[in-house]
Amino acid sequence: MIRFEPRGPASLRRMLAVTIAAAVAALVLAAIPIAFAGLSVFDAYGLMVKGAFGSLFAFTEMLTRAAPLILTGLAAAVAFRARLWNIGAEGQLYAGALAAVAVGTGLISGPSLVLIPAVMIAGALAGGLVMLGPTLLKTRLGVDEVVTTLLLNFVILLFVQMMLEGPMKDPMGMGWPQSEPILDEAALPKLMDRMRIHWGLVVALAASLGVYFLLKRTVWGFEIRAVGENASAARHAGIPVTATFVRVGLLSGALAGLAGVGEVAGLKGYLTADLSPGFGYSGIVVAMLAGLSPVGVVLAALFIASIFVGADSMSRATGVSNYLADLIVAMALLCVLVSGLFLRFRIRLVGDHKSRETAE
């Protein structure tokens, strides 16, 4: 029989060890379908590592992929810290991208110094406003934000498709449902020549530090932590719980919106309905892997990004579907959730209990 015995607070070292063990377990579990696909597991993972770290190009591609994951990961982490279950980062990302395109394709003109901040603010605002509705519904009427944020993802994606087929369709786009290209002045500059890596990564890293600072050092952060850890005690102590939820909702949505800005203004240059391969949802995995720590989000995003980029590369080399990446990421989430059990409980197998024989 298995017994669970509660254990004390986890040390940082044990948390790290368990998280890494979860990631390794995910890779081991994902090896099973690789083997079924008739591939050598070591070859496959070797190709994946090469695909993510094997060259400067591979490495910068991985970092490019990590940038939006950091931002959506932060969006989830900051919301989850306050126990505001924002599952809608995907929709907020598209809302941010849509706003960036709306502002950055000629609505206003000016130098980069004006246009880039304008595009970013527009995207962050749009993402935040999308999250405002579910937050107010939760605080005012007690509507479950998991449902509202999740369903809004589809509403927003369909709205984006409508805009791309209609008013925002690029007349020069050969009939493809895509927006006009973003102005050069509004585009985020590249970080390196001939590589796709752009300033979105810097924005993401700065956001990570910003969220860390907010949570650790400010009154608002104090209130977010208090509400998240024990909303009832926070309310009793006079902390404005509703206002805190609204702040967190706006911030979370804004971070996801910024991820969308980075993708259109830094990478693609125009908006399509397949802008995000599920960055919003992967952000939840990133946040959980990181234990909701804003700095940990960066590391977790790098891990997830290397799996995505590595799996793409392996898939091209071997013909094994790159759905494998989704599989590994999903496994990683499951392993991390299960690993929480190991952090909170000591698990003992009892079958050899000495008093057992005497019991009969």
Partner 1 sequence: MADPAQDADVVLRLDGITKRFGALTANGEVSLDLKRGEILALLGENGAGKTTLMNILFGHYVADEGRVLVGTSGNGLADLEPGSPSAALAAGIGMVHQHFTLAENLSALDNILLGTERLAALSSSRAPARRKLEDLMARSGLTVSLDARISQLSVGEKQRVEILKALYRDARVLVLDEPTAVLTPQESDTLFATLKKLAADGLGLIFISHKLAEVLASSHRVAVLRGGRKVADLPTAECDRRRLAELMVGHAITDTARTPGTPGASLFVLSGISAGHGRDALHGVDLDLKSGEILGIAGVSGNGQTMLARVISGLETPSSGSITLGESTLTRASARKMIDSGLARIPEDRHHDGIIGAMSVSENLAIETIRKPENQRLGLLRFAAMRERAKDLIKAYDIRCQSADSPARLLSGGNIQKIVLARTLETEPMVVLAAQPSRGLDVGATSEVHRRLIAARDRGAGVILISEDLDELMRLSDRIAVIHRGHLSAAEPTETLDRGTLGLRMAGHNAEDAA
- Binding interface with partner 1 (CB under 8 A): 1, 3, 6-9, 217-223, 225-226, 229-230, 232-240, 350, 353, 355-356, 358-359
Question: Is the CB of 8 or the CB of 171 nearer to partner 1?
Answer: 8
Apex 305 CA angle, 102 and 82, nearest 5:
70
Q: Which residues contact 96 (CB under 8 A, 6 or more apart)?
A: 123, 124, 126, 127, 254, 256, 257, 258, 259, 260, 261
Query: Which residue shows structure tokens 């599989």?
Result: 327
Query: From the CB of 139, what's the least distance to partner 1, in Å?
Result: 14
Question: Is the CB of 153 or the CB of 293 nearer to partner 1?
Answer: 293
And the tokens for 9?
């607070």
Query: From the CB of 209, what's the least distance to partner 1, in Å?
Result: 15
Q: Which residues contact 43 (CB under 8 A, 6 or more apart)?
A: 318
Question: Is the CB of 233 or the CB of 337 nearer to partner 1?
Answer: 233
Query: From the CB of 229, what's the least distance to partner 1, in Å?
Result: 4
Query: From the CB of 152, what's the least distance to partner 1, in Å?
Result: 30
Answer yes or no: are the C-beta atoms of 100 and 123 closer than 8 Å: yes
Query: From the CB of 234, what's the least distance to partner 1, in Å?
Result: 7
Which residues, listed in sequence order, are joined to residue 179 by a DSSP beta bridge? 169
Query: From the CB of 196, what's the least distance to partner 1, in Å?
Result: 38
Q: What is the dihedral of CA 116, 257, 302, 154, to 10 degrees?
A: -140
Answer yes or no: are the C-beta atoms of 63 and 276 closer than 8 Å: no
The sign of the torsion formed by the CA atoms of 327, 329, 331, 334 equals negative
Which residues, listed in sequence order, are joined to residue 349 by a DSSP beta bridge? 2
Q: What are phi and psi of 139, to 5 degrees?
A: -75, -35
Q: Is 278 exposed, middle or buried (0-12, 13-18, 19+ CB in 10 A)?
A: middle
* DSSP run (H or E) holding 348: strand 345-349
Query: From the CB of 235, what's the least distance to partner 1, in Å?
Result: 6
Answer yes or no: are the C-beta atoms of 76 and 287 closer than 8 Å: yes
And the tokens for 189?
């500059």
Question: Is the CB of 35 or the CB of 243 nearer to partner 1?
Answer: 243
Question: Is the CB of 36 or the CB of 355 nearer to partner 1?
Answer: 355
Question: Is the CB of 15 or the CB of 31 nearer to partner 1?
Answer: 15
Question: Is the CB of 217 or the CB of 316 nearer to partner 1?
Answer: 217
Question: Is the CB of 8 or the CB of 166 nearer to partner 1?
Answer: 8
Query: From the CB of 2, what's the least distance to partner 1, in Å?
Result: 11
